[in-house]
Structures are given as C-alpha cells and as structure tokens.
Structure 1
Amino acid sequence: MDVAVIGLGLIGGSLLRALASAGHQVLGYDADPATRATARTAAARAPVGERWQIAGTVRDVVARAELVVIAVPLPAVAGVLDALADTGYTGLVTDVTSVKGPVRELVDRHLHGRYDGSGGQHTRLAGFVGGHPMAGRETSGFGAADPTLFTGCAWVLCLEPEVTSIGDWLELAALFTGLGARVVPAVAAEHDRAVAAVSHVPHLLAAATVAVTADDPLAGTLAAGSFRDGTRVAATRAELIAAMCGGNAAALGPALDAVLDALGQARVALTEDDPIDALRGWLGPPSAARRAWPPRPGAPVELPVRPDALLRLGRTGGWVTGVAADRRTVTSVTPVPPDPAG
C-alpha cells in the first residue's frame, strides 16, 4: 500500500518505520526541515527493504498516496487539512490524534467542507476514519521512533453509524492489525470520554504530583518506584499535554471532577478517628480492580462485518485482531470477566 505520513514525531515516525518494515511504500513529511533531514538520514541507514522516503511538501507527499495519515498535534490538524484539500486529494485519510470528536469536526470544516474554484463542491470527497493508537510515551520526536511501538497496543478506529464507510474502516483495520495492533471499534464521543479517564486525567495528576514536590529536595531524594511510575508522563512536553487535554476539555472536565470527588472522600477518611480503617474501605475496590487489569482475553471468534456488531464488541472491551480477505468477517476477542473469587 502507498502510505503518506504527515508529521514525524514519536507516533508518526514510528508508524513510518513500522509500515516500511512491513513492506509498504511509505513517504513521510514534516513541517520542520530539521526533522525531515533526520528522517532522511535514518532512511539511508535502514536495512534494504525497510526504507522510506521523505518529501519536501504536502503536495509531494500525497501525490501517489492511497492513504494519508495525519500525525500532528491537534492545534496543527486544521492547517494540514487545508493543505490536503488544496492538493485535491480524494483518497483515504486517517489520523492518530488523541481526541476524536474535535478532529471529526475539523475534517468536516476544512476537508469535506471545502469548495473548488468554480464555486462547486469537489465531486468526490476524501474518505476519513478517525484513529488513535494507545501507544504514547513521554519521549517525543523522530529520534524516539520505534517500529515495534504498536505491537499489542489498542488502536481505536472510529466507526460512526451512517457516516463511516465500512470498506474504509476495514481497510485500516487490516493495515493496523498487520502491524500487531488490537483494533478497537468506537464512536468518537465514547472514545473521548474513555481516554479522558484513562489517559488525560493521569497526565494532569502526574503533573500535579510533580508540581507539589518539585521544590522539596528531600522528597526528590526519597522518591522511588511509586513516584517514578505515577509521574512518568509528566515528563512529556508541556505543549503536547496541553493540546491533548485542552482539546478534550468537554469530556475531561467531568472525568477530572469524578477523580477530585474520589480524592475528597480520601481526604475525609483521613479525619476519621481511625483513618487506617477508613482508608482501607476506600482503597479496597480500586485495589481489586487494578489487580484484575489488564483484562484476560477470551478465545478468538469470527464476527460478521456489521457496524452494530463491531461497536458492541468495542463497548464490551473487545477488539479485532484480523480481517478476512473477503472482508466479510473479522477475528474478534472479548475479555473474560474477572473471577469474583479473585
């Protein structure tokens, strides 16, 4: 498959390398000339058969592409979509941004809502399927790119009823499961609520924990495993966290309120006559839930390709591991419920 990757940071660079390693024809582009130079140098040193090329413009990178992957932070997405629309590109488009509702709106305005010079709308619009690989790290830039980054990761592909082309969705599901990812079907709004809780709130909590201990030299010396593991993502570049969390403000606000309420309950427990006993009751359910994560996969099952069946799979925590050659079924896995007896 001919794939263009626009944006060569951690995710875009890793995808560029993973696709090249899998035998796809890959062309990359980044707005930063230094990043383009770094990627070209890395390509020259890559093993034969796993090399990629770097273009100098958006027009050049999409010229032969069957698929364009937008891998830039949310604030830069509109500009890339405008540049893509200016080329007249009509192939398939996906993205790897950590919020999906706002990107869908940007696509509608900046790509599908564009008009040609004669005053009429383009006769054929580019197809779009929103995506998000759950594979971020605190490191960034092309130098941090890893072609194995997506092995085993959950990769959300949005399936909006009566909007998303099931053929386009399956094309991407086949591509990304071929890289070893677990494809999770979801609608954009449900994705944004879920990542607010499991990704965006933890970024803010990590930053807050570091902020309240940064000026305490003794705390810095004593910090060990729990501090390291709980604050790892605070080392992510501030502008990337701000774009991710601010871009999902509508879903993140309620998720953060829920966590603050839970912490408020812990604060009240500390005022009890027996705070140890009070905290034990507060800590019990989350302790059990964390020990049961990650979910244990059940046996693979062939699932018919229907949007309702795929979305039901995602809502029950399941994922797709493969797409049949005839595109009529997918191989699906649903987690096994935890044993109540522990």
Structure 2
Amino acid sequence: MADAALPVPTMPAPPVGVVGLGQLGGSLAAALVAAGREVTGWDVDPEARAAAADRGVRIGTQLTGVVVLAVPLPAMTAALTDLAIDPAATVTDVGSVKGPVLATLGAAFGSRFVGGHPMCGTERSGHAATDPELFRGARWAVCLERGTELPRWLRVAEIALAVGAEVVPATAADHDDAVAAVSHVPHLLAAALAAAAGEAGPLALSLAAGSFRDGTRVAGSDPALVTAMVEANAGPTAAALARVQQHLARPWPELVATGHAVRAAVPAGSRTVRVPLDRAALLALGRAGGAVTRRLAAFVEGRLPDTP
C-alpha cells in the first residue's frame, strides 16, 4: 500500500550552512549565494574560508536551517564536532556513498538527517576548483528513508533545485547499488585502463586520443578520495565489478553489440509529470529514471524518460 500523502506547508527558505568549502561545498555555497540564499560556511582551511568569503559567503561556526556536510567520507563523523549546530537544523551531506553515512549521521541526528549526493564534480579538488555552475543540469540524489521527515526532505530538495540540479528521490540502499555501477566501478576501470596503457609504453600513450582520454579522465582524481569511496561501498561495487568481468568474458562481437544496444536505447526525450508529496510515489519516480524539477504547493513536478 502506498504511503499516505502528507500536507507540507510552504515556508520561507531557511538559511544554509555549508561545512567544507572545497570543490563541492565551495561551489554549492557560491551557487546558493548567487540564488539569493543566506549562506554561512566553514572549513578548517583558512584559504578555503577566504576564497568563500570573497564569493559572498558568510564565514562562521554557528549554523542553522539546513546544514550541508561537504567533507571527505572519512571526515564525515567528526566534521561537526567544534561547530554550533541549531538543534532544530536539518542535516544533509553530499557524500558519494549513502549507507555508511546514514548509519553514522542517522544515528546521531535521527529524522533530522537527510542523505544527499549530487552526481557532478570533476577530477579536480579543493577550493580552487569551485564552480557556481557545477550543479546546473546535474542529478542530485536525495534519500527518502522510512523515517525521513518529508518537510526536511523537501528542504534539502529545494537546495538542489535552487542551484539548477534535478532531484532524484532514492533510498540509501538503492543509491549505493546504482552508483556502484555508474560511478564507482568506472573509477576502478579508469585506473585499470590507465595502468595497462602505461605498461604498453610511451608509443601507446603518445597515440592516445579521445576514447582513452574519456575513459581515463577520473583516474586523475585524488587517489585517497577514490579509495575511501569504493571501500565504503565495497559490497555493491564488488557485485557491479563482477558483472563487468562477466561481460568481458563474452565473445567480443556479443559484448560490443550488447553495449551498443544499451547506449542506443537511452531515451532522448522526457515527459513532464506531477507527483504527490508521498514517499512511495516519489521513490517510484526515482526508480523509473525520473527526477523532480520543481516544487509546487501540494506536489512536485518532474520528468520521466520517454518510453519507446
């Protein structure tokens, strides 16, 4: 049975606190300032704080409204230790793995925690990689667990929408299975491809063109961050990698034809839908490949991929 729709009052947009002002956090803070939101940021790096202040971000340790953790996964649990967080604040994050974060921050903040993960970023890192346009057109998973308070989920979703992203409702478990296939395994494959090409010698590297560049781009990412990501999602990543290895063992013509068919079947268009503020309906939208694009009074508007 579908969860009953809940009335959600429309309230003024709350302030946002961003903890961690590197590429993701710095870009988010700058984008929210540009969108007219009140933003307070903090980072242990004084250079990152200064760069954010130059972009109009208020620097401080007292955070309220919606607090966004934009720090590496290993630092997630300790990032708020010396900060003054409003007891009523909603807490979210932008980490690339959701299950372990839900287990720790969910235990600490209960229903005040709403996991999130914007599917964007580059192989660069740090405050020098800040880009206020980073999120525009990106998909941003916002986790909707059984205990999630819908008004808090909407507050996090509104932040993503404010910076130009589209919101994908998902559970932490569904998210981790999905990103293992489309993000975490590609990082491992990029590393393997780069390593194998390196062993082929200077001539091979001198002849490398677009397919090698595209296939190895993320191998330029910080190795420590990538290692933390794949190890935190080890189970789903191992399962997804095993599927890739099974495909690589197929006859090459079959493998090439199957991969081509999947890419060719990606829908080119979408249709607009309206979805009630209901957990089951929102998750169904995400599982069907859709996303929320706009918040309306008693429901949300979104897009679903066209079906053949």
Q: Which runs of 5+ in 1 are unaligned?
A: 44-50, 113-124, 270-278
Are 1:141 and 2:126 an aligned pair?
Answer: yes
Q: Which residue of 1 aligns with 2:101?
A: 103
- Per-residue CA distance 1:128-150 (angstroms, 9 max, x = gap): 11000001211111111111111
Between the aligned partners of 2:73 and 2:82, the Cα distance in structure 1 is: 15
Q: Are the equivalent residues in 2 in contact too, given 1:70–1:95 (CA < 8 A)?
A: yes
Q: 1 CA distance for matches of 2:87 and 2:230?
A: 30
Q: Which amino acid aligns with 2:187?
A: H
Q: Choose 184-193 or 212-221, whichever is displaced more.
A: 212-221
Which amino acid in 2 is paired with 1:236?
Answer: S
Query: Aligned runs of 1:96-175 on 2, under 5 Å?
Result: 96-109=94-107, 111-112=108-109, 127-161=112-146, 163-175=147-159
Corresponding position: 1:224 with 2:209: yes
State the aligned residue count.
294
User: How far off is 1:83 after superposition?
Assistant: 4.2
| Whole-angstrom CA distance in 1 between matches of 2:265 and 2:136 | 22
- Gaps of at least 5 residues in structure 2 are 1-13
Normalising by structure 1, report the TM-score. 0.82
What pairs with 1:256-271 in structure 2 (closer than 5 Å)? 256-265=241-250, 269=251
Higher relative contact order (CA 8 A, sep 6+): 2
1:283 aligned residue (253, 256, 263): 256
- How much does 1:332 deviate? 1.7
Q: Does 1:306 align with 2:278?
A: yes
The one-letter code of the counterpart of 1:19 is: L
Flag the 1:81–1:251 CA change in 2: closer, same or farther, 3 A: farther
Say if 1:7 and 1:70, in contact at 8 Å, map to a contact too. Answer: yes
CA distance in 2 between partners of 1:177 and 1:297 (Å): 20
Matched, 1:9 2:22: yes
Does structure 1 residue 54 correspond to structure 2 residue 53? no
- 2:176 corresponding residue in structure 1: 192
Aligned-residue CA RMSD in angstroms?
Answer: 1.7
C-alpha displacement of 1:126: 6.9
2:299 paired residue number? 329
Is residue 139–residue 168 contact of structure 2 (8 Å, CA) maintained in 1? yes
Can you list the C-alpha shifts for 1:183-218, whole angstroms capped at 9, x where unaligned?
A: 000000010000000000000000011112224111
Q: CA deviation at 1:89?
A: 3.3
CA deviation digits over 1:27-68, x for unaligned, max 9?
11111223223333x33xxxxxxx21223xxxx241xx2110
Relative to structure 1, the CA distance from residue 251 to residue 313 in structure 2 (aligned partners, 3 Å threshold; closer, same or farther) is same
Q: Return the alpha-carbon distance in structure 2 between the equivalents of residues 20 and 39 of structure 1.
A: 10
- 8 A contact 2:248–2:255 mirrored in 1: no
- Per-residue deviation at 1:285? 1.8
Verify the 8 A CA contact 2:114 2:144 in the aligned structure 1. Answer: yes
Contact 1:130 1:158 in 2 (8 A): yes
> Matches of 2:87 and 2:43 in 1, distance apart?
18
Task: Choose 1 or 2 for highest CA Rg.
Answer: 1
1:183 corresponds to 2:196? no
Q: 1:132, 1:6 → 2: CA distance? A: 15
Identity, % of aligned positions: 46
